[in-house]
A = this chain, B = another copy of it.
Amino acid sequence: MPSDTRERLIDAGAELFWRQGYVATGVKQIVTTASAPFGSMYHFFPGGKEQLGAEAVRRSGAAYGELVPLFFDTAADVVSATLSLFGGAADTLRDTDWADACPIATVALEVSNTSEPLRQACADVFESWLELLGERFRAAGIAPDRAREVAIVLVALLEGAFVLARAMRTTEPVLAAGRAAVAEVERALSPDAG
């Protein structure tokens, strides 16, 4: 079977998990979305939906992680990068009818206590984002432990704001979280100021 079928299955899974979560997505829907023959699923993924799911989470996570260099390596400093990141997230969310938020958060909550391979894939993705962000904060002169903490606070603010904003249908939580994220970054850059 052509190996690009395998890629298409992972992409289809990633897209469906992003839009509707892991549990609501059936193998049949993944195969149909990928325009793949049904047998290809178990040919490429003998572990079934869970195996494909872990690969899809890692792929979505890597793609979303590219937002970090996109925003941080083009901005004047980490403060303006943080502001742009949350502003961009708010715009995207509103422009996609409150759908286009974190690609793995729904899966992470759904599987944390039911699938160890999927939980691990989500944990690895979160760690990779923390490392990407932490690297930028360290480069801005923030001590390593504090840089990790700022990265955690940023990701937590973004994930939490997405939960609120998608349900409440307003960008208000994302913009408020963005202002708090900026304050956190500024606080870390000037530790003596409080």
Interface segment, one of A31-39, A40-48, A70-78, A162-170: A162-170
Taking CB atoms, residues of chain B closer than 8 Å to A164 are 126, 152, 155-156, 159
Complex Cα spacing A152 to B178, Å: 11
- Among the interface residues A20, A112, A149, A172, which one has the most CB atoms of the partner chain B within 10 A? A112
Is A59 interfacial (CB 8 A cutoff)?
no
Q: Which of B20, B106, B112, B160 contacts A166 (CB 8 A)?
A: B112
Q: For the complex, would chain A's binding face be called helix, strand, loop or mixed by DSSP majority?
A: helix
Provide the bound-state CA to CA distance between A159 and B187, in Å: 22
Whether the Cβ atoms of A163 and B24 lie closer than 8 Å is no
In the assembled complex, the Cα of A193 lies from the Cα of B186 at a distance in Å of: 13
| Interface membership of A113, Cβ < 8 A | yes
A168 to chain B, nearest CB (A): 5
User: Scoring A residues 9 to 25 as 1 if CB is less than 8 Å from chain B, else 0, what string do you get?
Assistant: 00000000001110110
Which B residues are CB-close (under 8 A) to A183? Answer: 183-184, 187
**A179 CB within 8 Å of chain B:** yes
Say whether A152 contacts B127, CB under 8 Å: no
Chain A residues near B (Cβ < 8 Å)? 19-21, 23-24, 97-99, 105-106, 108-110, 112-114, 119, 122-123, 126-127, 149, 152-153, 155-164, 166-169, 172-173, 176-177, 179-180, 183-184, 186-187, 193-194
4 closest A-B pairs by CB? A160-B160, A156-B160, A159-B160, A112-B166
